[in-house]
Amino acid sequence: MGKKIFSGVQPTGNLHLGNYLGAIKNFVKLNNEDQNQCVFCVVDLHAITVAQDPKKLKDNIYETVASFIASGIDPEKSIIFNQSKVSAHSETAWILSCVARMGWLNRMTQFKEKAGKDKEKASIGLYSYPVLMAADILLYDTTHVPVGDDQKQHLELCRDVAQKFNNDFNVDNFFKLPEPLIQKKFSRIMSLRDGTNKMSKSELSDLSRINLTDDKDQMINKIKKAKTDTLPLPPTSADLEKRPEAKNLMGIYSTLMDVDLDNTINKFSGKNFSEFKENLSQVLVDKIIPISSEIKKLLKDKNYLNQILDNGHQKADSIASKKLKKIQEIVGF
Ligand code: AQP
């Protein structure tokens, strides 16, 4: 039997190599497996947990859809839609927020990181974000959720919420407990400026990430400027452990080439960074520029993108509203 896949990407702009290698590349693989039912959501309700410029948000929604399609997701085979258009997500999130416990949410590291020191001023939405994410996933009887490593804790919370709902209302197996699908290696792509921080859309320095819409010169320049150390490339993977920037760049190369890290190490051991960076730039340009060009082309055809979203909205709404109706009956509405 095929898998039921659900995952989301926030339309917060600057979709980057981390989003692609950590999540979207995996979406494409799952989309291409025959039996799977895939739902890929542009999670705009999640995006507004931090302030967004309304005009840019609209553009970013189109850019996210274009990135899905340019990366190889087939909109005929997978459901692609905008989260805010299917009201069952918000309605289910409210019900589940009465099931989830404060103590569980207090442990979420992403909230702590994003809220920073001034958590009194963070939005309530940012705090309860994982409950909305649980609603997103559970509405589609999802069996597998392809995500980057940073989302693992939220997935565990989703399973806890599902289990507690099933227990509290005595509805065994009503919500399925979804499994995370996280890449085994290099599940977290790090910033090009600091190998200990994840590559992120909201990082101020554009030099910290490769955007999926960057052109060839920008990519080459960012790799040239990527932080490194002064040593030549090492002979074993153990030697990389204390060299986060070298490890990240070699990981990016290996993931793009679909080869093991040891393979990359053997190829470049003893060489200096400038030679390695030339090879890395070349593979980036070969693999990502076709996607980048396709995104730009698709963004010129808003009618086509709207058509995909409308079509996806109808399909998603039909599944989600049926599940919501059952949830409402169970809680006694
Ligand atoms: N650096 C990363 N390495 C691997 N996977 C990553 N993902 C994000 N960054 C990396 C994965 O991409 C998917 C979509 O992420 P998202 O946009 O919904 O949210 P995010 O994790 O908050 O992404 P960013 O880039 O870090 O955005 P900001 O800066 O706004 O917080 C998810 O599966 C995520 O794991």
- φ, ψ (nearest 5 deg) of residue 93: -60, -40
Q: From ligand 1's centre to the CA of 84, what distance in Å?
A: 19
Active-site residue 176, yes or no?
no
CATH no. of 206-297? 1.10.240.10
Ligand 1 surroundings by CB, under 6 angstroms: 8-10, 12, 18-19, 22-23, 147-148, 150-151, 188-189, 198-202
CATH no. of 4-187+302-331? 3.40.50.620
Contacts of 290 (CB under 8 A, 6+ apart): none
Q: Which entry of 198, 247, 277, 323 is annotated as an active-site residue?
A: 198
pLDDT in tens, the chain (333 residues): 789 999 999 999 889 999 999 999 999 999 999 899 999 999 999 999 999 999 999 999 999 999 999 999 999 999 999 999 999 999 999 999 999 999 999 999 999 988 988 889 999 999 999 999 999 999 999 999 999 888 999 999 999 999 999 999 999 999 999 999 998 777 789 999 999 999 998 888 999 999 999 999 999 999 999 999 888 888 888 888 889 999 999 999 999 999 999 999 999 998 989 999 999 999 999 999 999 999 999 999 999 999 999 999 999 999 999 999 999 999 999
Residues 269/234, Cβ–Cβ less than 8 Å: yes
What is the spatial distance between Cα 307 and Cα 318, in angstroms, rounded to a whole number? 17
Active-site residue 114, yes or no?
yes
CATH 1.10.240.10 residue ranges in the chain?
206-297
Q: Whose CA is nearest to atom 33 of ligand 1?
A: 147
CATH 3.40.50.620 residue ranges in the chain?
4-187+302-331
Residues 40/30, Cβ–Cβ less than 8 Å: no
